[in-house]
Amino acid sequence: MEKKASYPQILTTAVLTAAILVLAACSGNHTTNKESNPSSQASQTSNDNTGDAADSTAEIAKGKYDSPITVTSVMGLSDQVQKSVAIKPDVVNDNIWTRGYEKDLGIKIKYLWTVPGAQMEQKMNVAISSNDLPDIIPANPRQFKMLVDTGVAMDITQLFDQYASDFTKKMMEADKNIGLNQATVEGKLMGIPQLNGAIDAASMIWIRADWLKNLGLEPPKTMDDVIKIAEAFTKNDPDRNGANDTYGLGLLKDLTGGFAGLDGFFEGYHGYVNGWIDDGSGNLVFGGIQPPIKSALAKLAEMYKNGYIDKEFSVKDTAKVAESVTAGKVGMLYGQHWNPFYPLQDAKNKDPKADWQAFPIVSIDSVPAKPMINGSAATFYVVNKKMKNPEAAIKLYNYFYAKDPAISPDFAPAYHGKNGEQEKIPDQNYQLATMTSFYPQQNLFIHQSVNKYFNEKDQSVLENYWVKDNVEQIENYKAGDNKLWSGYAWAGPDNSAFNVIEFYDKNDRFLQNGYIKADTESTTQKGATLNQMRSETFTKIIMGAAPVDEFDAYVTKWKKLGGDDITREVNAAK
């Protein structure tokens, strides 16, 4: 008897659950397709009491709301902002940006929730699933696609055109519209991209120059040089400690990535392990299954056999490889521009002689190696269809571009916040803005200006806030503050990360990934399995557990297990 009593319970629960889900889905599809009626005309100007920058501010804002409106959003907190929150708990709701929005734009910001950046994805997934969403939704590419597919995202093509400030449009041009293109679905702009520098993602080789010097070697010009350096770093005791305890090439178990990955190594063979390339007839094919990858794997297997690669690489994650680097066991690795900040600065702290320098990737033949670059946006601000004043989103975006980039005519340093002073003034930091987006060539610009200062003694570049900040740090490093080495290795004048990026830029080396939009249906479903299979196959080949020809079997399986579907979808969506 009692047992039967449980069935109604289950049924009720099931029905209720289904009802909730259906309701959630319905409200998600609920469209408010009314043409947004811009309550403020472009001609409206802000009051003169906004200060001396009133004229340009009026242009930025394209009109202030007479009676303040409230806009909701959420925020993933950067590490810096988390520190600020600990000092001043209400800093997210009351800071230089929120005050500026209210004073200059008549917009009050209300954050429904905030979460440390590392957990943003998880928290946002729950919010999307339960349709508990704010007006402005910061989304990663996968979530962006979900919001578009479920009809939450508003088509802002016209609004953006109408309300984007001249400076904002200039930034989009500087980006060659790559970010906007990423946010465009079937010809409609469905989100506002947070621009970063696409070119910053290019691979480079980090090498311990002090080891090169110890062994009388030159920086690599060809792929053969890379192998020779790896050999010498393994066998010839580059650190002169009399022990055979070093190896040539740092590698982590994931095989690809921005630190100790193989992307740059494959690029040396003209292979693009994660990219889509033109097959010559206008169709895109997946780079990871092309013959150059096989040749590169054969070479890697040889290097592994000879001990140039850590025998235990297949179990080493970023932190473990970083340990080897800091302990002075590794002398060369493929990486990206940010490596000096982590973990190379640790290596420098441990051993001030560790002189890591960046070099461009090199080629196996006479064709120059080209680093692949992806899109410029990894975050998209989706405007919720239910938002009452959708143009406010674009005004907030304009406002950031007006106040933050040091090349903007309205640049105000307080909005950006000063490095290292966040503990004294926690409410001044660009990361507190509701929407952020950057000058795509910002880092390269900094480097070039820093170069002018050091090489041509051009003092005028110091007028720019970014440049002044970086020059000061590099000067302090040169004066003996070892802790500031990372800034020097990042943007400094001698073999820094951005020397390499500048080299690529000048010589037109960047290769744009053929597909930079959100993952397709099949990629979402099968991508993880395919990546897992790749990682297993490649690891086996490198470790000699499988012959190089295993690669051909992998290619066949890749196509069969969803790769062909993905290729079709990518070609349809490009």
Give the x/- contact pattern for another protein in 330-349, rule: CB under 8 A: ------x-x--xxx-xx--x
d(CA 345, CA 487): 9
Q: How far is the CB of 230 from another protein (least distance, A)?
A: 21
Selected range binding another protein among 195-203, 287-295, 501-509, 559-567, rule: CB under 8 A? 195-203
d(CA 171, CA 165): 10
Binding to another protein (CB under 8 A) within 220-259 occurs at 257-259
**Of positions 53, 69, 298, 327, contacts another protein by CB under 8 A:** 327
Binding to another protein (CB under 8 A) within 474-493 occurs at 486-487, 490-491
Q: Are 238 and 211 in contact (CB under 8 A)?
A: yes
Query: Which neighbouring-strand residues pair with 188?
Result: 185
Place of tokens 């200039």: 170
**Of positions 322, 450, 489, 555, contacts another protein by CB under 8 A:** 322
Selected range binding another protein among 85-93, 301-309, 454-462, 510-518, rule: CB under 8 A? 85-93
Binding to another protein (CB under 8 A) within 357-386 occurs at 376, 378
Q: How far is the CB of 17 from another protein (least distance, A)?
A: 6
- Record the tokens describing residue 122, joined without a space: 């998880």
Task: Tell me if 442 contacts another protein by CB under 8 A.
Answer: yes
Selected range binding another protein among 80-88, 360-368, 505-513, 549-557, rule: CB under 8 A? 80-88
Task: Tell me if 29 contacts another protein by CB under 8 A.
Answer: no
Residues touching another protein, count (CB under 8 A):
77
Q: How far is the CB of 35 from another protein (least distance, A)?
A: 32
3-state class of 394 per DSSP?
A: helix
Query: DSSP string covering 247-267, please?
Result: BSB---TTS-SSBS-SHHHHH
Task: Tell me if 12 contacts another protein by CB under 8 A.
Answer: no
Sheet holding 107-116, edge to edge: 107-116, 69-77, 136-139, 377-383, 192-195
Selected range binding another protein among 234-242, 323-331, 394-402, 507-515, rule: CB under 8 A? 323-331
Q: Which is nearer to another protein, 301 or 322 (CB)?
A: 322
How far apart, in Å, are the Cα atoms of 297 and each of 146, 336, 397, 511, 559? 36, 21, 45, 21, 19
Q: Which is nearer to another protein, 48 or 79 (CB)?
A: 79
| Sign, CA torsion 380/159/75/339 | positive
Task: Tell me if 529 contacts another protein by CB under 8 A.
Answer: no
d(CA 112, CA 90): 13
Q: Are 389 and 71 in contact (CB under 8 A)?
A: yes
d(CA 103, CA 489): 41
Q: Which is nearer to another protein, 189 or 325 (CB)?
A: 325
- Helix H, strand E, coil C: the string for 41-77 is CCCCCCCHHHCCCHHHHHHHHCCCCCCCEEEEEEEEE
Binding to another protein (CB under 8 A) within 166-185 occurs at none
Task: Tell me if 558 contacts another protein by CB under 8 A.
Answer: no
How many beta carbons lie within 10 A of that of residue 549, not counting itself? 11
Q: Which is nearer to another protein, 50 or 379 (CB)?
A: 379
**Of positions 50, 73, 196, 246, contacts another protein by CB under 8 A:** 196
3-state class of 138 per DSSP?
A: strand
Task: Tell me if 13 contacts another protein by CB under 8 A.
Answer: yes
Task: Tell me if 292 contacts another protein by CB under 8 A.
Answer: no
d(CA 490, CA 474): 10
Q: How far is the CB of 491 from another protein (least distance, A)?
A: 8
Q: Which is nearer to another protein, 82 or 539 (CB)?
A: 82
Q: How far is the CB of 478 from another protein (least distance, A)?
A: 18
- Record the tokens describing residue 326, joined without a space: 């800091």
Q: Are 364 and 225 in contact (CB under 8 A)?
A: no
Task: Tell me if 134 contacts another protein by CB under 8 A.
Answer: no
Q: Which is nearer to another protein, 2 or 186 (CB)?
A: 2
Q: Which is nearer to another protein, 231 or 346 (CB)?
A: 346
Place of tokens 């507190």: 432
Give the x/- contact pattern for another protein in 103-122, rule: CB under 8 A: --------xxxxxx-xx--x
Q: Which is nearer to another protein, 123 or 386 (CB)?
A: 123
Cα 115 from chain centre: 19
Find the radius of gyration of the CA atoms of the chain: 26
Q: How far is the CB of 210 from another protein (least distance, A)?
A: 17
Binding to another protein (CB under 8 A) within 405-424 occurs at 419
φ, ψ of residue 358 in degrees (nearest 5) = -100, 140
**Of positions 11, 15, 87, 553, contacts another protein by CB under 8 A:** 87
- Record the tokens describing residue 339, joined without a space: 């490596």
Identify the H or E element spanning 20. Answer: helix 2-29
Q: Which is nearer to another protein, 38 or 413 (CB)?
A: 413
**Of positions 98, 214, 246, 431, contacts another protein by CB under 8 A:** 431
